[in-house]
């Protein structure tokens, strides 16, 4: 994660910097660490980047679905923040990732079990040392008083965060169904499990809600199988979004043309009332051949 003490730009370095707290978090698995390293590789001096899922999967040596799950765990633990990005035509592009700063921690003492050594050698560290110091302390030297440590807030478990997020999403889906006159009785155990699997796979709640809206408006009888047909309804929702964007753009262009014509008419009316242009018109009419003959 990005730290204020690191005053270099990551992209200019031939290696990748991460903080030790990420490696020490036992709640993260080895794939989570690899995915975090892959994100940190592309992060700039502000900790921001937007690599694709395929790029992260290639660097982390895993599938794209596994990357999505690791991103969700890293975000739930507060190590990064994910922001969806969209193209001008409404299509979805790669997410933007922001590495979140973390407070410094005092590392636990390193024991002989943590540091391998030969049987006839003295352990390189003692129980009072941290893993920053690999020199044995002088037993006759008085220890400096340690500053009081501020207890750090324990992050909420991933399961609790996921449960809260899922309940909010299900409530939004229920409200969406009721707003369109459909009963909410379709939300059952298997249906909820399917939605939970989509969220765990890295699908945003906004995408799920838009796809559900497209399903209930197009084929309400298929809403019971929405979780299984999500890819189909997501495509329908994206097609609708593109079409709506084009319609909005066409409507704005028509309104702009109407405004231009209205301004031209107003300008023409003002010119007709201007004495200068009245004299010009009268002079031009006087030069017409039929006016000269009539005279």
Span 157-197, pLDDT tens digits: 545 445 557 778 778 888 877 777 666 666 666 777 888 88
Cα–Cα distance measured from residue 183 to residue 177, given in angstroms and rounded to the nearest whole number: 7
Looking at residue 280, its pLDDT comes to 83
Looking at residue 152, its pLDDT comes to 62
- Please return the burial class of 15, using the count of CB atoms within 10 Å of its CB with bins 0-12, 13-18 and 19+: exposed
pLDDT average, residue stretch 109-130: 48
CATH 1.10.10.10 fits 10-99, yes or no: yes
pLDDT average, residue stretch 15-43: 88
All residues at 6 or more sequence positions from 31 whose CB lies less than 8 Å from its CB, including other chains:
60, 62, 66, 70
**HSE, side-chain direction, 13 A CA sphere, residue 231:** 2
Helices (H), the chain: 20-24, 30-42, 53-60, 64-76, 158-179, 189-200, 205-218, 230-273, 275-286, 289-294
Rounded mean pLDDT of the chain? 75
Nearest to 35 by CA among 3, 16, 61: 61
Cβ(202)–Cβ(69) under 8 Å? Answer: yes
Q: Is the pLDDT of residue 128 over 80?
A: no
Task: Indicate the range of 95-99, 114-118, 133-137, 201-205 predicted with least confidence.
Answer: 133-137
Cα–Cα distance measured from residue 31 to residue 73, given in angstroms and rounded to the nearest whole number: 11
Name the band, by pLDDT with cuts 50, 70 and 90, for residue 67.
very high
Looking at residue 144, its pLDDT comes to 55
Q: Is the pLDDT of residue 230 over 90?
A: no
Cβ(57)–Cβ(67) under 8 Å? Answer: yes
Per-domain boundaries in the chain? 10-99, 157-275
pTM: 0.36
Answer left, alpha or beta for residue 71, where phi above 0 means left and psi between -120 and 50 means alpha.
Answer: alpha
């Amino acid at each position: 994660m990005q730290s204020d003490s690191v005053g270099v730009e990551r992209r200019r370095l031939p290696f990748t910097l991460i903080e030790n707290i990420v490696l020490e978090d036992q709640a993260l698995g080895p794939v989570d660490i690899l995915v975090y390293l892959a994100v940190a590789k592309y992060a700039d001096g502000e900790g921001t980047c937007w690599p694709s899922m395929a790029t992260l999967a290639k660097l982390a040596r895993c599938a794209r679905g596994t990357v999505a799950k690791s991103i969700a765990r890293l975000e739930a633990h507060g190590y990064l923040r994910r922001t969806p990005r969209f193209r001008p035509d409404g299509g979805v592009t790669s997410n933007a990732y922001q590495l979140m700063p973390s407070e410094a921690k005092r590392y636990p003492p390193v024991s002989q079990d943590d540091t391998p050594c030969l049987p006839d050698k003295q352990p390189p560290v003692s129980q009072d040392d941290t893993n920053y110091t690999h020199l044995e302390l002088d037993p006759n030297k008085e220890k400096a008083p340690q500053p009081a440590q501020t207890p750090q807030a324990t992050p909420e478990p991933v399961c609790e965060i996921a449960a809260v997020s899922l309940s909010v999403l299900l409530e939004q889906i229920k409200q969406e169904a009721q707003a369109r006159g459909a009963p909410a009785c379709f939300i059952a155990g298997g249906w909820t499990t399917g939605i939970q699997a989509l969220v765990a796979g890295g699908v945003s709640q906004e995408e799920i809600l838009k796809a559900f809206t497209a399903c209930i408006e197009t084929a309400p009888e298929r809403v019971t199988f929405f979780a299984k047909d999500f890819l189909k309804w997501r495509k329908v929702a994206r097609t609708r979004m593109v079409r709506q964007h084009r319609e909005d753009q066409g409507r704005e262009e028509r309104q702009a043309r109407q405004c231009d014509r209205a301004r031209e008419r107003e300008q023409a009316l003002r010119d007709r009332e201007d004495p200068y242009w009245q004299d010009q018109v009268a002079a031009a009419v006087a030069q017409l051949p039929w006016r000269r003959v009539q005279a």
